[in-house]
Amino acid sequence: MNIEQFVFLQESGNVSIPGILLNYYSRLGITEEELMVLIQVKKFKENGNHFPTPTELSEYMSITTSTCTSVLRSLLQRGFLHIEELEQNAILYEMYSLKPLWEKLYSFLMQDEKKTKNLEEEQ
């Protein structure tokens, strides 16, 4: 590996996945394939592309473009992903937002906390 490759490696960076997302996604009803789509969306957003197409996403995945389209649609419908609209210089931009994912995670953690407390009190 030469110096250009090493610099490229460092510049391609890392995507940080919160431990709690890795611990609870399956309990939120998210599959591994769906989580990987969300992680790829996060990667694109961190690199400045806030609205990657299914073709762009599937290029880095083992799933086809049409499967990717279905997964995105399902994530949007089930409220794990959201499309925000942004007007800049009279042009309307669309961008994916992962906020609904964090909201669902928050609600789950709060509910889980309650259940744990109730269980403790019962014992």
Binding residues vs a copy of itself (CB under 8 A): 1-3, 5-7, 9-20, 22-26, 30-33, 35-36, 39-40, 43, 46, 48, 60-63, 98-99, 102-103, 105-107, 109-110, 113
Half-sphere exposure of 96 (CA within 13 A, CB side): 27
Shortest Cβ 112–a copy of itself spacing (Å): 10
Kind and range of the H or E element at 119?
A: helix 99-122
Shortest Cβ 95–a copy of itself spacing (Å): 12
Cα 7 to Cα 91: distance, rounded to the nearest angstrom: 35
Shortest Cβ 74–a copy of itself spacing (Å): 14
Nearer to a copy of itself, 6 or 73 (CB): 6
Taking each helix axis from N to C end, the angle separating 32-46 and 65-77, rounded to the nearest 10 degrees, works out to 90
